[in-house]
Structure 1
Amino acid sequence: MNQTFQDELAGMLGERVSFSLPLREQHSHGEGYTAKGMPDAVVFAESTEQVASVLRLCRKHLVPVVPFGAGSSLEGHVAAVRGGVSLDLTRMNGILQVSAEALDCRVEAGVTREALNAHLRAGGLFFTVDPGADATIGGMAATRASGTNAVRYGTMRENVLGLTVVTPAGDVIRTGGRARKSSAGLDLTRLYVGSEGTLGVITEIQLRLQGLPEAIVAATCQFERFEDAVGTVTTALQSGLRMARIELLDEVQMRGCIGYSRLEGFEEKPTLFLEFHGSPSGVREDAEGMQELALAFNGNLFRHAERPEERTLLWKARHNCYHASKWLAPGKDNMGTDACVPLSEFSACINETKEDVRESGLVAPLVGHVGDGNFHLGIMHDPQDAEETARAEALAARVAERAIRYGGTCTGEHGIGLHKRRYMAAEHGAALDVMRAIKLALDPDNIMNPGKMLPDGPGG
């Protein structure tokens, strides 16, 4: 980064730009198995117009731009591997419009998921995508986030209606709109959702909302055999039971949750965490139907949690799985990875994965959003131990490769970032060249989050 650019940036933004080492370090990585890349400057944008001005200046000087939200990404998305500007959008936290009649809202990119739902609650509404972390909505759109509610309500792909995007040239465009469907032109909204900051900067998001359910019932059920838990899930989905959440924790992950989250009354066994939304009679009927299915697959210790505080305890424990994994192996890092396969292949893929974990000799608890075939491994390792780290990386690689072999994807929700670029060719084949062509057309100078998502090649 040359001095002329720094002077122009500081002159344009004043105190909204920082060159301090602590702030640059803070913006050099996300969570999880971190890859660091130190930016040369951190910019705190406060409006779409400011983002546009920054991008025009960066393009003029060919300076890389890395969008930054809550910093909760797990695959190295926010590491400034080629230096440049870390563009922090957290000050863009306005909730611009909410329509209870249309069941939608428009927010700035820096609004967090929990802040949005706190605002919506008084109006009887909620935003459904729940990745666990209190991520920003802009970051969730950029990574096509998912989470525990996806089995009923879908991912960010289904819940983003439109966007405001600043292109690498500094132009401001709006994609999509408020209509629930359209046949007009190319679907640019879906192009930018999941683009991981490589095509432009998302500054506003139009979101689909839902009414708060009249009744919510959570439930848990434990199993002696992991295969029986998977069989219960598969049969429940085939039977049409209306589940809002259906999570599967293996016995290792349950040991961590029991210890870290102080879950009382649970054993270290494969466990389903369930939730049903609807009318009081409907959720009761679905919960009873699920209990009957679980019993048929030798499930036991089936119990309901209807009071809000009971449900909160359960789902807080589920969302704290990452920290519970670290509790299992003090002093070690969590190399979190995920994959997703067709439901018809889920049981075989999971069983093979668990056998692989056993043979690796590593502690690697498994948790799955089993309603949509997505699962996560938290591979614990000592980053100072080269041999153990190599085993952990090899295990993560086999998880990705196995998922692709079973007709799935190397990531169901974490995204590609840095760590999974090497699997893109195996998963996408010749379509990867089309992605590169799009990147080259929209960002010919390759200033937008360079070195991410696409393997080295034109536009990479």
Structure 2
Amino acid sequence: MVLADAGAGLRNETGIAVVLGILKQRFGESFQTGEAFRAQHTHTTTYIPGQLPDGVAFPETAGEISEIVRICSEHRVPIIPFGAGTSLEGHLNAPNGGISVDTSRMNRILKVNTEDLDCVVEPGVTREELNTYLRDTGLFFPIDPGANASIGGMASTRASGTNAVRYGTMRENVLALTVVTADGKEIHTGTRARKSSAGYDLTRLFVGSEGTLGIITSIALRLYGIPQKITAGVCPFPSIDNAVNAVIMTIQMGLPVARIELLDTAMVRGVNAYGGLDYPEMPLLFLEFHGTDAFAEEQAVTFGEIATEFDAGEFLWASEPEERNRLWKARHNAYFAGMAMRPGCTNITTDVCVPISRLTECIHETHRDIEESGLLAPIAGHVGDGNFHTMVMIDPNDPEEVRQGEAFVARLNERALSMEGTCTGEHGVGQGKQTSLRTEAGESLDVMRAIKRVLDPDNIMNPGKIFSI
């Protein structure tokens, strides 16, 4: 099984031994070296094999993170930040050992500024915890990557998800950060002001850096008012062409749809079998509309008229929470439904993003590739912004299947790049997509490496991720 080049240097046995002793003495039970703890803090979400850290630290303050980083820096020992463990491209692996820094105990909501529609949280707060806390304020945080990810991890991978078509990604919704850099110093980037022309935009530099430049210790986020009304709908189409063309017209007409998701026929079959559902086995769009009572309903009616132009089947929509949840059940269960389609196997869950005008073509060519290669690979997508995911089901113990799966993902990435898209819309690069990033970034990869060398000269911050040094 092939991984991208580690780019992490040689394992520092002497330094690791010294750091393990220091951290155990300093943090006691808040530092663990047992194999079970270490295995829980490596990559387990997809087929990429796990590479265990040598120890796991559970800091509770930014000061403790600074202390851990200074100790590791002094002895040149790698540091791998850990949030909720939901990343998909090997971000949590320790290719040459080191210390996993688990931020889950840093889960305090530090400040909510209702008048300014923003808040400040520690990195271990999950998106569900934040929205539960915010519920009584009338505000919510809209970024929903599917998993109950930590806010720190979402910032590190520049996550997005189902709501991105209306509310944007983490890039647009992080106002400011505090970050511990590779020398143990805590720096502040950005302010709570909604715009600034002051200096380099360091906040955007750290958002999406996948822990390779520092460890995030607090995040200031944009918030939004909870919509007065939310309506949801499900609409079948006779083909991918018709479904995506309906999406394109919806976006071009400026209809402010909050979510617009696609399941292809294979995925629909899977979610029907998994959830005991009876959706038509054809491409489906799942939609959600936010606004006032009148405006949310108007959006749904307008989309229904658009769908009719593209030969859609019956458009089912609902506004009561129970009915909305029932309609969305298929989309929410897509990952588990995919896994159930081939019991005992694992998957390569991958994503690409293309300009929406090329989305139909990209999905068509991907379907053709799936058919010719004989793979089981259902598709689900955040089609409102040209992003789709493919679950490639493989037997991890069959080298030929693994090779075929990796080759398919490589072709998918090349296809997206040839259409002026990107090799990853929201999963990140990690270990799994370094080769494709080299093609996508070209000479700008040298600029990324230069920034890395300045901020992390000893290459201790999540080494072996994004690119090799």
Aligned to 2:112: 98
The amino acid that maps onto 1:281 is A
User: Is 2:341 aligned against 1:328?
Assistant: yes
Q: Deviations 1:29-88 (Å, cap 9, x if unpaired)? A: 141223311100000011100000000000000000000011000000001111000100
Distance in 2, matches of 1:132 and 1:313, equals 16
How many residues align structurally? Answer: 455
Instruction: Check conservation: 2:354, 2:416, Cα contact below 8 A.
Output: yes
1:309 aligns with 2:322: yes
Is the Cα contact below 8 Å between 1:325 and 1:378 reproduced in 2? yes
> In the alignment, what sits opposite 2:262?
248
Q: Give the structure, 1 or 2, with the largest relative contact order (CA under 8 Å, sep 6 or more).
A: 2
1:190 to 179, 199, 204: 204
With 27-36 and 70-79 compared, the bigger mean Cα shift is at: 27-36
Contact 1:241 1:286 in 2 (8 A): yes
- Among 410, 419, 424, the alignment partner of 1:406 is 419
Residue 283 of structure 1 aligns to which amino acid in structure 2?
Answer: A
**1:357 maps onto 2:370 in alignment:** yes
Name the residue aligned to 2:9.
none
* Cα distance, 1:316 vs structure 2: 4.0
Counting only pairs closer than 5 Å after superposition, residues 17-96 of structure 1 correspond to structure 2 as 17-96=31-110
CA contact (8 A) 1:222 1:272 kept: yes
Counterpart Cα distance in 2 of 1:35 and 1:50: 30
Alpha-carbon separation, structure 1, partners of 2:67 and 2:60: 12
Matching residue within 174, 179, 187 for 1:173:
187
The 1-side partners of 2:42 and 2:296 are apart by 45
Distance in structure 1 (CA, Å) of the matches to 2:265 and 2:87: 26
> Match of 1:449?
462
* 1:384 matched residue in structure 2: 397
Q: Distance in 1 between matches of 2:104 and 2:44?
A: 15
Q: Measure the CA separation in 1 of the matches of 2:390 and 2:346.
A: 13
Matched, 1:422 2:458: no
Q: Distance in 2 between matches of 1:155 and 1:262?
A: 33
TM superposition shift of 1:401: 0.8
User: CA 1:30/1:101 → structure 2, altered by over 3 Å: closer, same or farther?
Assistant: farther
* d(CA) in 1 for partners of 2:327, 2:405: 29
Instruction: Determine the structure 2 residue equivalent to 1:109.
Output: 123
Contact 2:47 2:396 in 1 (8 A): no
Structure 1 regions of 5+ residues with no counterpart?
none
- Any conservation in 1 of the 2:240–2:360 contact (CA below 8 Å)? no
In structure 2, what residue type is equivalent to 1:137? I
Conservation of the 8 A alpha-carbon contact between 2:378 and 2:390? yes
Q: Residue by residue, what CA displacement relative to the aligned partner does 1:253-293 show, whole Å, maximum 9, x if unpaired?
A: 111111212334x1111000000000111111111111011
State the partner residue of 2:3.
none
**How far is 1:323 from its partner?**
0.9
Instruction: Tell me how far apart the structure 2 counterparts of residues 179 and 315 of structure 1 sit (CA, whole Å).
Output: 36
Shift of 1:186: 0.4
Q: For the residues of structure 2 that align with 1:451 and 1:299, how far apart are their CA atoms? A: 47
**Distance in 2 separating the partners of 1:446 and 1:5:** 16
Tell me what 1:439 maps to.
Answer: 452
Q: Could you tell me whether the CA contact under 8 Å between 1:409 and 1:427 is conserved in 2?
A: yes
| Structure 2 counterpart of 1:226 | 240
CA distance in 1, matches of 2:27, 2:64: 8
1:163–1:189 contact (8 Å) kept in structure 2: yes
* CA-to-aligned-CA distance 1:324-363 (integer Å, 9 cap, x gap): 1011111111110000001121111111111111111111
CA contact (8 A) 1:45 1:88 kept: yes
Please report the TM-score for the alignment, with normalisation by the length of structure 1. 0.97
| Alpha-carbon distance between aligned partners in 2 of 1:204 and 1:314, rounded to the nearest angstrom | 36
Q: Distance in 1 between matches of 2:396 and 2:44?
A: 16
1:236 lines up with 2:250 in the alignment: yes
For normalisation by structure 2, the TM-score amounts to: 0.96
Measured in 2, the distance between the counterparts of 1:28 and 1:277 equals 38
Tell me the C-alpha RMSD between the 2 structures. 1.0
Of all paired residues, the percent bearing the same amino acid is 55
Q: Distance in 2 between matches of 1:6 and 1:155?
A: 37
In structure 2, stretches of 5+ residues that fail to align are: 1-12
